[in-house]
Structure 1
Amino acid sequence: MSWYEAADEPELVEHGPVSGLAVTGQGEPGGVAYGESVGALYAVMGALGAPMVPLEGRWWVEDERSPFDVPRDEWRWHLFLRLPDGTTSVDRAREEARSGVPAAARVQHVTFTAGRCVQMLHSGAYSEEPASLSRMDALMEDEGLVPNGLHHEIYLSDPRETDPEKMRTILRQPVR
């Protein structure tokens, strides 16, 4: 299965290591810190001359409550853009981008492995994700699986899209 594909129903998949550009931060999606971080990622990606890919986010809260009960300005994230295999010169591209986008200094070159995951394609508004996540939780329970990493989203549509008919997000949860 391709990194950028998911079924409309929850499914078990396996994903190996991926490399890309990342920025870690805190704040509400669409907020100032988030927007600056997205801009920094795309500035470095552009300086690399790499093809543009969907924005991704791995999300968490440092609270015992459900993330949906935590104020959005307390949400934490690793934003990510996947790089083509074999990409080098990230340090040079980051320095080149810094002159116009100071936040580019925070962009890191990282590799992570999602491993075994439950995922599905969520179609619709972000506010409706809890229903899809509940379906994913049901599959995890049926299979005797538990979360094993951060909640991961891949924004196949522009993250700023507001028309629910056009919004497509892969929801992915590493499991064990």
Structure 2
Amino acid sequence: MAPTPVVKVDLRRELVGYRARHGRFDLVTLPPRRYLAVDGAGDPNTSTAYADAVSTVYPVAYSLKAVGRARYGRDHVVMPLEAQWWADDPSVFTTRRDKASWRWTVLLLVPDWLTDDDVAEACAAAAAKGRRPALEALRVVTLDEGLVVQTLHVGPYDDEGPVLAQLHDEVLPARGLRPTGHHHEVYLGDPRRSAPQRLRTILRQSVEHVDVASNPVVN
């Protein structure tokens, strides 16, 4: 019997939400999606926990890619790293940039044809190949963000503050929207290989429509 041909899959091209436009704030509706996830807190530039999370989700994701290829004949491109960010005081993102106060969840998309058992197998395979410091904290979560506003930020991560302030202080009120969940970022660039000014990051905020009758919008 001839082997089943392997199908190459690039979900970045197929899934809604992995394209955004610089200087534009687009309203997009996203379906529920499953992710590898690790929670933590602190400055991502100096936090051991953040480095441990990233160095764990990637090996598991590549092991999961191997499982999908062998079991289902679907060889998917590993998706970009993502993260949700939040804090008790939102100004630490837009003005003060107090990264020590940040809380976060590192995310990496799980294709929908892969099961939780496949993830468990991938975790075991990744563990067998080396130290995965956040493996015990890794879980699979489903995010149902629904309606979101997103834009493309080009440049250093530390320059995001004014864009986020514009989103929350101008764009959302003008469109009769309010935030409903955590700030979400999708990292299309690799900071290890790209100059800071060339980094590309999707900035995303889940939203809902304000009741116009009780909260009139002034254009």
TM-score by length of 1: 0.90
Structure-1 separation of matches of 2:85 and 2:207? 15
Structure-1 separation of matches of 2:123 and 2:100? 27
Structure-2 separation of matches of 1:174 and 1:159? 25
Structure with more relative contact order (C-alpha pairs < 8 Å, separation 6 or more): 1
Q: Deviations over 1:80-102 (max 9, x none)?
A: 01121211211121123234224
For structure 2, the residue ranges without an aligned partner over 5 or more in a row are 1-14, 66-75, 209-219
Q: Quote the offset at 1:22 in angstroms.
A: 0.7
Partner SS, residue 73 of structure 1: helix
Partner of residue 174, structure 1:
206
* Contact 1:94-1:107 at 8 Å conserved across structures: no
> Aligned Cα RMSD in Å?
1.9
Partner of residue 174, structure 2:
142
Structure-2 separation of matches of 1:122 and 1:148? 21
Structure-1 separation of matches of 2:42 and 2:124? 25
Partner of residue 61, structure 2:
45
Give the residue type in structure 2 aligned to 1:6: A
What does residue range 22-41 of structure 1 map to in structure 2 within 5 Å? 22-31=37-46, 32-41=48-57
Q: Quote the offset at 1:6 in angstroms.
A: 0.8
Q: Quote the offset at 1:37 in angstroms.
A: 0.4
Partner of residue 93, structure 1:
122
Q: Quote the offset at 1:111 in angstroms.
A: 1.0
Q: Is the alpha carbon distance of 1:102 and 1:129 closer, same or farther for their aligned partners in structure 2, counting shifts above 3 Å?
A: closer
Partner SS, residue 105 of structure 1: helix
For structure 1, the residue ranges without an aligned partner over 5 or more in a row are none
Q: Quote the offset at 1:65 in angstroms.
A: 5.4
Q: Quote the offset at 1:74 in angstroms.
A: 2.7
* Contact 1:125-1:162 at 8 Å conserved across structures: no
Q: Deviations over 1:125-154 (max 9, x none)?
A: 111112211332212111111110000000
Q: Quote the offset at 1:11 in angstroms.
A: 1.6
Partner of residue 128, structure 1:
159
Query: Number of aligned pairs?
Result: 175
Q: Quote the offset at 1:172 in angstroms.
A: 0.3
Pick which of 95-104 and 16-25 moved more: 95-104
Q: Deviations over 1:27-53 (max 9, x none)?
A: 211332111100100111122125321
- Identity percentage over the alignment? 39
Give the residue type in structure 2 aligned to 1:13: V
TM-score by length of 2: 0.74
Partner SS, residue 134 of structure 2: helix
User: Which structure has the greater CA radius of gyration?
Assistant: 2
Structure-2 separation of matches of 1:124 and 1:98? 35
Structure-1 separation of matches of 2:20 and 2:54? 24
Partner of residue 7, structure 1:
21
